[in-house]
Amino acid sequence: MENNLLNRRKFFSALGIAGGAVAAASVSRVAMAALPEPVIQTKPDTMPPLIPKDGRPYNPVVTLNSWTLPWRMNRGVKEFHLVAEPVIREIAPGMKAHLWGYNGQSPGPTIEVVEGDRVRVFVTNKLPEHTTIHWHGQRLPNGMDGVGGLNQKQIDPGKTFVYEFIAKRPGTFMYHPHADEMTQMAMGMMGFWVTHPKGSHPLIDPVDRDFCFLLNAYDIDPGSATPKVNTMLDFNLWTWNSRAFPGIDTLNVRKGDKVRIRIGNLTMTNHPIHLHGHEFVVSGTDGGPTPKGSRWPEVTTDIAVGQMRQVDFLADEEGDWAFHCHKSHHTMNAMGHNVPTMIGVDHREVVSKITALIPDYMVMGERGMADMGEMEMQLPDNTLPMMTGAGPYGSVEMGGMFTMLKVRRDQKPGDYSDPGWYKQPEGTQAFEWTGPLAEPARFKSEGRQSMPLKETPKKEVEVTVKKPSGGSHSGH
Ligand SMILES: [Cu+2]
């Protein structure tokens, strides 16, 4: 926060000098010579909304574990400066990744403008290879679309290019390279873009809180720090804005707030994003606001690769509501996927033989995988536990794409700080039944089939269920 303010102050004081020196309104060598000083952010905190200091007013967004890039107004043009560069990003406390990003962070800062703004973005390349920026979803001149080799020359290392266009369409957008894309996106190069409507808009309702984040994924071997860029599907870190649970901040709102969440997907698979306790409508996509008659209530919206979804809801239920990707493997961190399923397997005999050789040997998964969230396992350095998170009632056994929407009666307008854990009112929480238990009556029926088998099996096969036993676990 302090660091950010300092940067912003430096940025705005630089404007006084640089702003006066610019002679031409169009892109010229003079303007290039006085390009805005880049603002750098390295803290992974969710920064407060950047209240616009000039230009048309708007209600700013809050970018989860990220920030909005300040601009300089130069003769009616909003000027931004993005620097593509290697960065170190804390994925969650305990793990840092060597990524590529913009202005000190991956993802890059959010760019916020207003419908009709003329926008000029200086892009300086400090990467070891060439890059470009594509402005996903924008209406713009073809030469500004950023596909290297097709629309423009690549931006070589050390070079600065200028993009300039009018933000014509209000809505939810993103930016990312269109140069060696597989590598550069696997390394974390991407950012969010919001074009706010100019005045009131028939399809864009005003909201009290407006959050945004990108879905991204990395394949980083436990104990290492650099993503494997050739991975196509087998990622092991599922992140929101390059952060994994428990490193993702909560979305803190006041009861009765109208809330908007904007989400873009730059991973290699779809993510069904699910909110507990409330229904939302998809109020927009990267194609623009949806017609009101097309909206229906949902609690999960699937966001395909390269898509954006903007959801609106009324936060009218107090509590700590889970908010996560519904692919359960995406709410886990690395290491969880190559472990064989051991539920119901009796290890006792094998274990006694192995422990004679390796005294520390430990069996996992005999009663399910929840043990992974409880045990203090020895992990390689710079590695997040597969599932973790100390909630008010124990481990929540989560990782990856998981956080919470916290709705509180007494959250002040404009306050985005974490209110702590919700205290359920007396008599409104699930509780243990301690009375007598009736034996369940098992329903028995003859199975049917659509037509007889060609040959009937000679012997009936019966699957026996081995009840899990706590006994063999007592040694752990
Ligand atoms: Cu997912």
Phi, psi angles (nearest 5°) of residue 287: -85, -5
SS3 of residue 350 by DSSP = helix
Residue 126 CA: distances (Å) to CA of 84, 102, 104, 393, 445: 6, 9, 11, 47, 69
Q: What pLDDT tens digit does each residue of the chain (476 aa) get?
A: 444 444 444 443 433 333 333 333 344 455 555 788 889 998 999 999 999 999 999 999 999 999 999 999 999 999 999 999 999 999 999 999 999 999 999 999 999 999 999 999 999 999 999 999 999 999 999 999 999 999 999 999 999 999 999 999 999 999 999 999 999 999 999 999 999 999 999 999 999 999 999 999 999 998 899 999 999 888 999 999 999 999 999 999 999 999 999 999 999 999 999 999 999 999 999 999 999 999 999 999 999 999 999 999 999 999 999 999 999 999 988 764 455 555 666 666 766 776 677 666 555 566 666 665 555 567 788 888 888 888 999 999 899 999 999 999 999 999 999 999 999 999 999 999 999 988 877 777 777 788 888 887 777 766 666 655 544 444 33
For residue 327, how far is its CA from the centre of ligand 1 (angstroms)?
5
* CA 144 to ligand 1 center in whole angstroms: 32
The rounded Å distance from CA 16 to ligand 1 centre is 45
Query: Ligand 1 centre and the CA of 311: distance in Å?
Result: 17
Ligand 1 mean position to 403 CA, how many Å?
Answer: 13
265 and 318 in contact (C-beta within 8 Å)?
no
Q: Which two tokens stand for residue 154?
A: 């690549």
Q: What is the residue-wise DSSP string for 76-110? A: TEEEEEEEEEEEEEEEETTEEEEEEEETTBSSPPB
Q: Which residue has the tokens 């969650």?
A: 92
Predicted TM-score (pTM) of the model is 0.83
Measured CA to CA in angstroms, residue 370 lies from 378, 397, 403 at distances of: 17, 7, 19
DSSP H/E element including 302 = strand 300-303
Question: Residue 381 has what pLDDT?
Answer: 86
- Give distance in angstroms: CA of 215 to centre of ligand 1: 8
| 284: nearest Cα among 202, 218, 351 | 202
CA 270 – ligand 1 centroid, Å:
6
Neighbours of 42 (CB within 10 A): 14
CA of residue 331 to ligand 1 center, whole Å: 8
Query: Percent helix, strand and coil across the chain, each rounded to 5?
Result: 10, 30, 55
In this prediction, residue 469 carries a pLDDT of 52
Centroid of ligand 1 to alpha carbon of 103 (angstroms): 27
Enclosing H/E stretch for 184:
helix 181-186
Could you please report the per-residue DSSP string of 360-408?
T-----BTBSTHHHHS-----TT---SSEEEETTEEEEE-BSEEEEEEE
Other C-beta atoms closer than 10 Å to the C-beta of 115 total 19
How far apart, in whole angstroms, are the C-alpha atoms of residue 277 and residue 271? 19
**Pick from 251, 248, 280: which is nearest to 401 by CA?**
248
| Residue-level pLDDT at 420 | 97
CA of 59 to the centre of ligand 1 (A): 29
- Would you state the pLDDT for residue 362? 57
pLDDT of residue 95: 93
The pLDDT score that the predictor gives to residue 18 is 36
pLDDT on residue 11: 41
